Structure 1
Amino acid sequence: MRLQEYGVGIFSAAFTKSALKKALSKKCITVNDVIATSATLIHGGECIGLTIPKEVSPKKKLILPLKVLIEDDHLAVIHKPAGILVSGNTFKTIANALPQNIQPSILDDATKPQPVHRLDYATTGVLLVGKTSSAIRALNRMFEDNMVEKTYYAVTIGNMNDQGKITSEIEGKKSQSNYNLVEAVSSIRFGKLNLVELKPKTGRRHQLRKHLSSIAHPILGDKEYGIENLILNGKGLYLHAYSLCFIHPFTSHQVYIKAELPQRFKKIFSAKIAEIPKDEDSD
C-alpha cells in the first residue's frame, strides 16, 4: 500500500490526507530513516517517522490591518480583503498578516495562526483560521468531510433561471454548486446583471467561477473564466464569501458568522440587498 493512503491518521500532527501530503512534500516523513515520497510503498514492519520542523519567526512583520469577526483560543474568523493571497511564497499574504492581528492562544498546542481553507486572490469575505495544532487538524478535517456550510454571493451576467444545481468534474473530482437568483437588473452593456446566492457542496479550486462560466453566466470581473468582450476591467471580481456555519470542534456550539456585502454590490442592487441581514456574530 502507498504511504500516502496508509499514513492517514497515524500521526496526530498530520491527521488528514491533505496534511499528510503536505508533510510528504516538505520531506518531513521518513520510512526506515529514508525520506519518503507520495510514491513510497509500505509492505509491513517499517519504521515510519514524522519530524516537525521548528518554526522560525520571520525577520520582517507584515503590517496589514485585518477585521477580526470572531476569536477564541482555538480559532478565529477574519474578513479577507480583495487583492491579496491567502498564503503562498510571497511576503504579502493573509497568513503572514495573521500574527499581527490575532491574539496568541494560551493553550498548550498554540501555534502560528493558519488559514484552514482558501479564497481566491480577488475574492472578499469570511476566512476561517486555526490557532492551535489540534484546531487546525480538526478544522481541516471538517472541510474535507463537508461539515462546514459556506454561502457566497456573486454578480453574474445574462438571463438566469431562478435556481439551479451545477455539477461537473474539476481536476478529476466530482463537484457541485447550488444557486438561487436573488435579484436581476437590466444593464446596457451586459444585458442583465444578477445577484446570486451560491452554496458550494464541494470545495474545488475556482469551483464557483468555473461552474458559473460553464452555464454561460460568468461572474462579473472574472478575467480568467469570463466572456472575452464582456470583461469588466478595474473593478475586481464580484465574488464574496458571505458566511460560514459549523459546529465548533471544541465547544460543540454552532458558529454562524457572516460579512456584509461589499459596497460595490450595493451600487448595482438595492431592493433585495436591504433584506440580507447585516453582520451578526453568534457562537
Structure 2
Amino acid sequence: MQKVAEHIVSEINTSRIVDYLLGVFDQLPTKNSIQKAIKSGGIRINDQACTTAKIPAPGDRIGYYSTKSRIKPYSLEIEIVYEDEHLLIANKPPGLPTSGNYFRTLEAALAHSHPLKFSETNLYSPRPAHRLDNLTSGLVIAAKTSKALFQTGQLFQKGKVHKTYNALVMGKTPNEGQWKSVINGKPAITAFKKLKEVRSLKNDQLTLLELSPKTGRTHQLRIHCSEAGFPIYGDPIYAKQTIKNKGLFLSAIRLVFTHPVTLVELDVSINLPSKFINRMKNEQNRWERRNGNSKSNSTAP
C-alpha cells in the first residue's frame, strides 16, 4: 500500500472515524467510500489498522493508503495543461468521474495516455491527488510517483493549494463577498467576485462568478451558491430549474501551489470554457430579441 495523505487530529472529538473523516480526504468524499477504505485497510491510525467504531483522539495521525495497483486503461483524449517527471495537471471534462469504481474515469484515461514504468518510486500510471465532482470540469493534479502523491495530498490537507473556479449562476449577485456556513458539521467558507452579468428570459439575469473556496467540503461551491439564492446554472441537485443536456456550469480554472518536490511556485490556469461564453451570449441575445432592445445590459469582465 502507498500512503496518499495524512491528517493529524488537533481537537477533542466525539465522532466515530467514518463521520470524522467526512471532508478530510478529498479522495474519500462519502461515508461509503470511507467505510470501504477502513475495511480494506486503507485507513490507519498511528500506523495501525482501525475499525469503523474507532473515535479519533487529539494527536492521532490518520493515514489514507491506496490499496489500488494497476488501473484498467480507458481510451479518452485528455488535455494536459502542465507536466513534469513528478506530476501532471489535466483538464477534466464535465461528466467524467475523477476516479472510483467505474471503467470510464480520468484516472483510467491517464492510465491509457500516460502509462508509467512501475518501480519502487513510480506508480503504474498518474493518480489523481484530489477530486472534482463528476459534473464539474477543470484542473486536476495527478501524481506520477508515490512521493509526489503523498506530498500533494499533504498540500491539500494543509490548505496550501489555492483553487479558483468560474461558475455561471442564476440571478444578480452582489459584486463580491464571502459565504460562510456549516457543511457536514464543519465550517465552510467561499469567497466570490462578480465578473459579468447578462439578461435572461427565464432567470431575469445570469451572473458569471469567480469562486475561491477557503475550505474543501463536498459540494461546497454548489451548496453555497444555492444557499445564497444564486444556484449554479444546470445544477441537477441544488437548482430548482434544470437545463437538459447543458451540464453544470462550474469549472476549476486555476491552481496555485508550491510544487511538492521541486518547490517551484506553480500558477496553472485555463480559459473560461466556451460553453459558458456561448450560453451567456445566447441568453443575452434571446432577451434582447424578446424585449426589442439592441443594447447589451451585460457588464464586461
Q: Does the Cα contact within 8 Å between 1:107 and 1:132 map onto a contact in 2?
A: no
Q: Is 1:81 the equivalent of 2:93?
A: yes
Residue of structure 2 in register with 1:134 after alignment: 147
Q: Pick closer, same or farther for the CA change 1:222–1:196 going to 2, 3 Å.
A: same
Residue of structure 2 in register with 1:258 after alignment: 269
Q: Is 1:92 the equivalent of 2:104?
A: yes
What amino acid maps onto 1:246 in structure 2? F
Q: Does the Cα contact within 8 Å between 2:71 and 2:111 map onto a contact in 1?
A: no
Measured on the aligned residues, the alpha-carbon RMSD in Å equals 3.1
Deviations 1:89-118 (A, max 9, x none): 111111111122236378751113211111
Matches of 1:68 and 1:242 in 2, distance apart?
Answer: 13
Deviations 1:154-182 (A, max 9, x none): 10011210011001111111110000001
Task: Using the TM superposition, give the Cα deviation of residue 188 of structure 1 relative to its aligned residue in structure 2, in angstroms.
Answer: 1.2
Task: Using the TM superposition, give the Cα deviation of residue 25 of structure 1 relative to its aligned residue in structure 2, in angstroms.
Answer: 3.5
Q: Pick closer, same or farther for the CA change 1:14–1:264 going to 2, 3 Å.
A: closer
Q: Does the Cα contact within 8 Å between 1:73 and 1:105 map onto a contact in 2?
A: no
Identity of aligned residues (%): 33
Matches of 1:26 and 1:265 in 2, distance apart?
Answer: 41
What amino acid maps onto 1:104 in structure 2? L
What amino acid maps onto 1:156 in structure 2? V
Matched length: 252
Task: Using the TM superposition, give the Cα deviation of residue 249 of structure 1 relative to its aligned residue in structure 2, in angstroms.
Answer: 1.2
Q: Is 1:13 the equivalent of 2:24?
A: no
Q: Is 1:101 the equivalent of 2:91?
A: no
Matches of 1:153 and 1:53 in 2, distance apart?
Answer: 34
Q: Is 1:122 the equivalent of 2:135?
A: yes
The TM-score normalised by the length of structure 2 is: 0.75
Q: Does the Cα contact within 8 Å between 2:195 and 2:300 map onto a contact in 1?
A: no
The TM-score normalised by the length of structure 1 is: 0.79
Q: Is 1:24 the equivalent of 2:14?
A: no
Q: Does the Cα contact within 8 Å between 1:219 and 1:239 map onto a contact in 2?
A: yes
Given the alignment, which residue of 69, 73, 76 partners 1:55? 69
> SS where residue 117 of structure 1 aligns?
coil
Task: Using the TM superposition, give the Cα deviation of residue 189 of structure 1 relative to its aligned residue in structure 2, in angstroms.
Answer: 1.1
Deviations 1:160-211 (A, max 9, x none): 1001100111111111000000111111111000010000011111100000
Matches of 2:40 and 2:154 in 1, distance apart?
Answer: 20
> SS where residue 154 of structure 2 aligns?
helix
Matches of 2:227 and 2:214 in 1, distance apart?
Answer: 17
> SS where residue 16 of structure 1 aligns?
strand
Deviates more, 1:239-248 or 1:263-272: 263-272
What amino acid maps onto 1:257 in structure 2? V
Q: Does the Cα contact within 8 Å between 2:139 and 2:254 map onto a contact in 1?
A: yes
What amino acid maps onto 1:68 in structure 2? I
Q: Which runs of 5+ in 1 are unaligned?
A: 1-10, 43-49, 276-283
Residue of structure 2 in register with 1:46 after alignment: none
Residue of structure 2 in register with 1:5 after alignment: none
Given the alignment, which residue of 242, 245, 254 partners 1:243? 254
Matches of 1:96 and 1:213 in 2, distance apart?
Answer: 32
Q: Is 1:182 the equivalent of 2:172?
A: no
Residue of structure 2 in register with 1:37 after alignment: 51
Q: Is 1:221 the equivalent of 2:234?
A: yes
Q: Is 1:72 the equivalent of 2:84?
A: yes
Q: Which runs of 5+ in 2 are unaligned?
A: 8-24, 29-33, 57-63, 282-295
Deviations 1:95-148 (A, max 9, x none): 111122236378751113211111111111111111111111111111011000
